[in-house]
Structure 1
Amino acid sequence: MNTTVLETSRSAVAGLDSILQYRRIAIAVGTDAPLSNCKTTISLLRYRGEHCVAVIDPAHRGKTTQEVYGVGGETPIVASIADVESPDAMFIGISPAGGAMPQSLRTTIGEGVDRGLDVISGLHEFLVEDDDLWQAAQQSGSRLIDVRRNLHRKTASGISFRDGCLRIHAVGHDCSVGKMVTMLELERGLKERQRNAKFLATGQTGIMVVGNGVPVDCVVSDFVNGAVENLVQQNEEHDILLIEGQGSITHPAFSAVTLGLLHGCAPQGLILCYEAGRPHVKGMPHVALKSLQHYRELYEALASARSPAQVIGVAMNGRNLTAEQAEIEKREVQEQLGLPVCDVYRDGPGLLVDAVLRLQERSGA
């Protein structure tokens, strides 16, 4: 292949338009990936389960995804792509800190590429920048789609969004507390009540679930606000937009994307997400988490620097609580904050749906 053509095609960003076309997805996680790194796998099984035919994980072969991940029913876990019947794509199912690719996963990806499968990855380490994978893909016809790779190069303008477009944004006291799931469940609940609502993805997993969005943690910092503002503008014909949150405003590593999202989407309503019982920042035992009231006040103040915003509800992640403990926790937080509190995993999103509709009525949106 002509070198100029090769380099030009590698420099182009693959479109996300094809992500939803796949109907027989093999999810690859490498060998014995920690469960904490497998949130992409879990979300694909939860929200695109009808399209997921297997998870490739040699360490757990022979088990079902329900046994290992708690979702997916009888979807099998297999040792290699050779054990998957007629897959049409391979999705990378891990989200490790830093986005680096384990060698065992790279081997699995190589096997998929050799078979001509399209590979969709949300890692920071881009498939198209791996010379061996790229050359193999040219020979087999495999498409390498890096969902974090982007060309967003526009700063925000501080525009006013359409009157009647209510923007709800998930914020958290830390990373990995359920911000994406909360908003996807909220979308489902609003649609069940015949409301014109749409979830907007801002991370790799959300993009792989719904097929579009902005990977804010891989956008150049000057352009995060502008990329999110543009995403909202492209979708403001909907009556309610549900913007996925990222990171935490006090997280020592990831606060920048959190603030960019707040000012880019200019939300009127905020859903505060937290994990009950978590004492410190994920992966940083030396950094203690603050009170929910502190986060409420901080998020409201920072969001309102662009336009007025308020926390309208709390999404509790009670994965480490018994049902009885969860009920006690919800009552206590509701009394403390004077806000509706629910665990969308256990209870569904009903209370948060009610909160969104109350805000919509008050705002006249």
Structure 2
Amino acid sequence: MRLRAPYLLFLGEEASPLKAKTAFGLRDWAPERCLAQLRMPGCGVDLGLPDLAPRAAAQAGARALVIGVTPPGGRIQTGWTAVLREAVEAGLDIVSGLHTPLESVPGLAEAARAAGVALVDVRRPPDDLPRATGRRRSGRRVLAVGTDCALGKKYTALALARAMRGAGVDADFRATGQTGVMIAGRGIAIDAVVADFIAGAAECIAPAAAPEHWDVIEGQGSLFHPAYAGVTLGLLHGAQADALVLCHDPVRRHLVSWPDYPVRGLRDAAGPYVEAARLTNPGARIAAVSLNTSALAEADALQALDDAARTLGVPAFDPLRTPADRVVASILS
């Protein structure tokens, strides 16, 4: 998938950074492609990029407006129509990872054709995905899994792929979400796949490879989430991971936007993940813990990492704060 860069990152009226994962992911992992941000009145998120309107961004060199937020249900908001049309008329492609097809926005497809720009729906899966076979395939795989959504599974996988390559390991990041696909330029947004084919899509994302090759697979959702556990389980089965990295936020007490569901502790979460993973790979194991310590001071973060390592008996790291060398060694062992 080739997206025209640089990008104008659209934040809409979003108030929560947790709902702007696409924008932050692109800023952090593809900064050379991010030119400016576009915020509507009431927006409480700031990427630290210049604020530009579509025409000014186009004049500054932007080639695409990327929708960087995820509103409820993953749907394009009706209040965005005028801004999206303004971007198209300024000569910008529109890139979306939401469930709503861009062509369904009133007047947008016609405006795009008239302006000669593209509407790119990253979340649209291939039409010919197979059912999973469950057969063991060559190569090695590590999958990021989590106690909740929006706590660092993508960042963990990207950081590990980079660290493994830096250690001389033949490793690739495998994207399973819209932001990961935008960063990597390939992959499948697994949560848009019909349920019967989720595991099969995972087999396609991380296919048979050389015996010593490692695929580092981005995780999705959580086994303990009332809305998204089905996606997580299909990905877990199709990935056939040899190693799991359990991602966790040590200060989060309930699932984001689901206050009636407490976040499981590491010990309670590890067992179900290993049991589910062993359906298709009997040797699956927890190799490491990844903590999102962004809300903690340095000393508290280090203590949380030490506690997590002792709890599961594996190395723990924060992909944005601490080295990954011990985690890589544990994955490879």
Give the TM-score normalised by structure 1. 0.85
Aligned to 1:107: 82
Q: What is the CA–CA distance in structure 2 between the aligned matches of 1:45 and 1:296, rounded to whole Å?
A: 31
Q: CA deviation at 1:174?
A: 0.5
Give the match for residue 173 of structure 1. 147
Please state how far the C-alpha of 1:346 moved relative to its aligned partner: 0.9
1:31 maps to 2:10? no
Which letter does structure 1 place at the counterpart of 2:37?
V
Share of identical aligned residues, percent?
Answer: 33
Instruction: Give the deviation of 1:291 after TM superposition.
Output: 2.2
Secondary structure at the counterpart of residue 233 of structure 1: coil
Task: For structure 2, list consecutive stretches of 5 or more residues without a partner in the other structure.
Answer: none
Q: Does 1:156 align with 2:132?
A: yes
Query: Which of 357, 360, 363 does residue 332 from structure 2 map onto?
Result: 357
- Does residue 288 (structure 1) correspond to residue 262 (structure 2)? The answer is yes
| Of 210, 234, 237, the match for 1:260 | 234
SS in 1 for 2:95: strand
The alpha carbon displacement at 1:238 in A equals: 7.1
Deviations 1:33-91 (A, max 9, x none): 43221111111111111111111114499x9x9xx33xx6xx3123x112211211111
Q: Which residue of 2 aligns with 1:54?
A: 36
SS at match of 1:198: strand
Counterpart residue type for residue 218 of structure 2: E
Aligned to 1:300: 274
Which position in structure 2 is the counterpart of 1:243?
217
- Please, what is the CA RMSD of the aligned residues? 2.0
Matches within 5 A, 1:69-80: 69=47, 75-78=49-52, 80=53
User: Structure 2 length as normaliser, TM-score?
Assistant: 0.93
Correspondence for 1:43: 25
Conserved in 2, the CA contact under 8 Å of 1:152 and 1:219?
no
Deviations 1:136-179 (A, max 9, x none): 112111111101112244211112211xx110000000101100
- Quick one: distance in 1 between partners of 2:132 and 2:66? 32
- Measured at CA, do residues 349 and 95 of structure 1 come closer, stay the same or move farther in structure 2, by a change above 3 Å? farther
Letter paired with 1:52: C
Report how far residue 104 of structure 1 moved: 3.9
Between stretches 243-252 and 346-355, larger displacement belongs to 346-355
- More helix by proportion, 1 or 2? 1
Secondary structure of residue in 1 paired with 2:107 = helix
**Matched ranges for 1:83-94 at <5 A:** 83-84=56-57, 85-94=60-69
The aligned runs of 1:220-235 (5 Å cut-off) are 220-233=194-207
Question: Separation in 2 of the partners of 1:97 and 1:261?
Answer: 23
> Would the aligned equivalents of 1:198 and 1:238 in 2 still touch at CA under 8 Å?
no
Q: Secondary structure of 1:326's match?
A: helix
Distance 1:235 1:257, change over 3 A: farther
> Residues 24 and 328 of structure 1: is their aligned pair in 2 closer, same or farther, counting only changes over 3 Å?
same
**2:2 is the alignment partner of 1:18:** yes
1:192 matched to 2:166: yes
Q: Distance in 2 between matches of 1:260 and 1:191?
A: 27
Structure 1: distance between partners of 2:82 and 2:327: 43
1:220: how far off? 0.4
CA contact 1:114–1:136 (8 Å) conserved in 2: yes
For the 8 Å contact 1:60–1:77, the answer to whether it is kept is no
Give SS of 1:77's match: coil
Aligned counterparts of 1:212 and 1:238: Cα–Cα separation in 2: 22
Aligned equivalents of 1:82, 1:233: Cα separation in 2: 42
CA offsets per residue over residues 212-255 of structure 1, 9 Å max, x none?
A: 11111110000111111112117668711001000000100000
Separation of aligned partners in 2, 1:123 and 1:219:
13
Distance 1:58 1:236 in 2: 48
For the pair 1:81 / 2:54, whether they are aligned, the reply is: yes
Shift, 1:115, TM fit: 2.4
How many Å separate the matches in 1 of 2:70 and 2:36? 18
> Do the aligned residues in 1 keep the contact of 2:14 with 2:69 (CA within 8 Å)?
no
Matching residue within 218, 221, 245 for 1:271: 245
Q: Matches of 2:37 and 2:212 in 1, distance apart? A: 35
Letter of the 1:197 partner, please give it: A
When residues 237 and 30 of structure 1 are mapped into structure 2, their CA distance, relative to the original with a 3 A threshold, is farther
